[in-house]
Chains A and B, each alone.
Chain A
Amino acid sequence: EAQVTQNPRYLITVTGKKLTVTCSQNMNHEYMSWYRQDPGLGLRQIYYSMNVEVTDKGDVPEGYKVSRKEKRNFPLILESPSPNQTSLYFCASSSPQYHTDTQYFGPGTRLTVL
């Protein structure tokens, strides 16, 4: 089954404790992206990657890092989480070779930083 998976689905942590949210897709998509979703603000892009070893900042990159060492994986790293990073996070992937920008989303990771 074609899908985007994220882990963990739920995480409660404390300020300053480094964490990683993993994202993996099995559709051989080149493009992957991370969003955060907050009430009243909608989906905002954090980082995106056009292919392996190619990453770029989205609209709200501060406090986040990403890496793209393999095509299928795109982890999101919070080196020193803060309470304002409490949010719902989505990973997405797509492939322009199919002449579409449709992004396929993972199920989400709800992060709470205390």
Chain B
Amino acid sequence: GESVGLHLPTLSVQEGDNSIINCAYSNSASDYFIWYKQESGKGPQFIIDIRSNMDKRQGQRVTVLLNKTVKHLSLQIAATQPGDSAVYFCAEGLGGYSTLTFGKGTMLLVSP
């Protein structure tokens, strides 16, 4: 079947490089942001989240940066591995029972 990865911006990196994936969000009132990873044939998988009262949050090999002034979110992946190859989505929402709004995604391709 047709891949959801078609028509997406693509970032190609070498194994071991650091990757930076960017996302512009739409609602200045959004106070919660999530990055998801979607591998081929699977559902989106939570990577890391950040609330609007923070501008940086770190996880294992991943860092999310939030710039509320320009409504920009980025995901940094350190020492990228072939297993990181996937489509990455950002999502924004409001606290509580929010409905998330998803970005269209970026495909990350990691070459050995």
B97 in complex: contacting residue of A31, A42, A106, A110, CB < 8 Å:
A31
Is the C-beta of B96 less than 8 angstroms from some C-beta in chain A? Answer: yes
Given A40-B7, A100-B49, A101-B32, does the pair A45, B99 have CB atoms closer than 8 Å? yes
- Contact A107 B103, beta carbon cutoff 8 Å: no
Q: Are B43 and A107 in contact (CB under 8 A)?
A: yes
Contacting pair B6 A90 (CB below 8 A) = no
State how many residues of chain A have any CB contact under 8 Å with chain B: 30
Q: Does A50 contact B (CB under 8 A)?
A: yes
Q: Is the CB of A37 within 8 A of B46?
A: no
Q: Which residues of chain A are within 8 angstroms of B99 by Cβ–Cβ distance?
A: 33, 45, 48, 58
Partner of A102, one of B34, B43, B105: B34
Chain B residues whose CB sits within 8 angstroms of the CB of A40 once the complex forms:
6-8, 104
Chain B, residue nearest A90 (CB): B43
B69 at interface, CB cutoff 8 A = no
Do A42 and B32 have beta carbons less than 8 Å apart? no
Q: In the complex the two chains form, what is the Cα distance from A60 to B102 in whole Å? A: 14
Q: Select the residue from B2, B4, B42, B96 with max chain A CB neighbours within 10 A.
A: B4
B60 interface residue (CB < 8 Å to A): no
0/1 per residue, B67-93, Cβ < 8 Å to A? Answer: 000000000000000000000010001
Those 7 A-B pairs whose CB atoms lie nearest each other, nearest first: A105-B43, A40-B7, A42-B104, A43-B102, A39-B6, A101-B93, A105-B44
11 extra A-B contacts, CB within 8 A, seeds A39-B3, A45-B99, A107-B43? A39-B4, A40-B6, A40-B8, A40-B104, A41-B104, A100-B32, A100-B49, A101-B34, A105-B36, A108-B42, A112-B1
- 11 A-B pairs with C-beta separation under 8 A: A30-B97, A39-B5, A42-B104, A45-B100, A58-B99, A92-B43, A101-B34, A101-B100, A105-B36, A106-B43, A107-B43
